[in-house]
Amino acid sequence: MRFPLLLAGLALLVVALFAGSLLVGPAGIAPARALAALVRGEGLAETLVMREIRLPRALLAVMIGASLGLAGAAMQGYLRNPLAEPGLIGISGSAALGAVLALHTGLAAAFALALPLAALAGAVVAVGLILALAGRTGGSITLILAGIAVSAMAGALTSLVLNLSPNPFAAAEIVFWMMGSLADRSMVHVWLALPFMAVGWALLATLGRGLDALTLGEDAAATLGVSLTRLRLMLIGGTACVVGAGTAVAGAIGFVGLVVPHILRPFVGARPSRLLAASALGGAAMLLAADIAVRLVLPERDLKLGVLTALVGAPLFLHLIYRTRREGL
């Protein structure tokens, strides 16, 4: 069968890029020594570099990439709209606002889980708003307009919070929160995000059959035994968990959830259920590749991941809008 082959191919790609991600970095450690340091802890400096800097970075790329791909595929399946993407419709931006609030009110310092929880809360508000504004009958235009409104609001409030911070560095970090980066993250961030993401992945993974049925519209899906209320709750909860946790530790990274499902849709026969798993793997591969690229292109600077994903994603987004318009949706 073609689908298992596709998944196996994507999984291999993720493994290869994961290994690549572990081997790229300014420390210039030879692969054999890198492996020895990572697995057996040989050499203090090498072990610190491999285990505390590169491993969390590669793990976060996989986790966040898979989350964004999965959330994008799920949102698109639910809204039956290929333009739905957590970053574009303001979910990531609202999650960033939540994270920034937790950091700058001191909540995150007092209680570590406050950071992902606040980001999750921001994401829930945004998903709820988007579904309320564009969910049932809203077409592409409503969706994009709602996304612009939510993004603008979240971006402005994030800037405000950062500007009010007593920390002189904070105000300059709006770029990080809007574009995202995995530079210099640690295992602390992995453990902070993983539980929420695992819950989100589990919630989104159950949506497959419901999303397939939704291909025929809400009424048809309901009479095929799908509970739309439950589906909507799982989608909101799952998307908020994965996007919230990812944004809390790496900022808002856009377009992954747009590009990956779009590329993979023809390979899964456009079936929303199959697109979920494929997009999760594809998203992990795309973010790993992007994170390797930012280190190769400008090794000295912390080039933001969102810059690369937007360079790939924005032209595709324009193309999709053009096609949507032509189809008169």
Q: How far apart are CA 273 and CA 269, in angstroms?
A: 10
CB of 176 to other proteins, least distance (A): 5
CB of 268 to other proteins, least distance (A): 9
Q: Which is nearer to other proteins, 232 or 271 (CB)?
A: 271
CA distance 175 to 159: 10
Shortest CB 312 distance to other proteins, Å: 23
Cα(138)–Cα(130) distance, rounded to whole angstroms?
10
In terms of CB distance, is 68 or 213 closer to other proteins? Answer: 213
Query: What are the C-alpha distances in Å from 177 to residues 97, 115, 250, 251, 273?
Result: 8, 13, 8, 4, 31
Closest CA to 115 of 172, 196, 202, 52: 196
CB of 215 to other proteins, least distance (A): 5
When the beta carbons of 142 and 165 are compared against other proteins, the nearer one is: 165
State the burial class of residue 187 (Cβ atoms within 10 Å of its Cβ: 0-12, 13-18, 19+). Answer: middle
Cβ distance to other proteins smaller for residue 209 or 232: 209
Contact 312, 255 (CB under 8 A): yes
With respect to other proteins, which residue has the nearer C-beta, 24 or 125?
A: 24
**Between 14 and 69, CB nearer to other proteins:** 69
Q: How far is CA 287 from the centre of its chain?
A: 9
C-alpha separations of 309 from 17, 126, 258, 312 in Å = 16, 22, 10, 5
Give the residues lining the site for other proteins (CB under 8 A). Answer: 25-29, 44-46, 48-49, 52-54, 80, 103-104, 106, 108-109, 165-170, 172-173, 176, 184, 186-188, 206, 209, 212-217, 219-220, 222-227, 265, 269-272, 299-302
Q: Could you give the dihedral angle defined by the CA atoms of residues 90, 91, 92 and 98, in that order, rounded to the nearest 10 degrees?
A: 110
Q: Classify 185 as helix, strand or coil.
A: coil
Q: Which is nearer to other proteins, 148 or 191 (CB)?
A: 191
Minimum separation from the CB atom of position 224 to other proteins (A)? 5
Cβ at position 125, least distance to other proteins in Å: 22
Please report how close the Cβ of residue 54 comes to other proteins at its closest, in angstroms.
Answer: 8
Tell me the Cα Rg of the chain. Answer: 19
CB 201 within 8 A of CB 70: yes
With beta carbons less than 8 A apart as the criterion, state whether 276 and 70 touch: yes
State the minimum distance, in angstroms, from the CB of residue 264 to other proteins.
12
Q: Is the CB of 59 or the CB of 150 nearer to other proteins?
A: 59
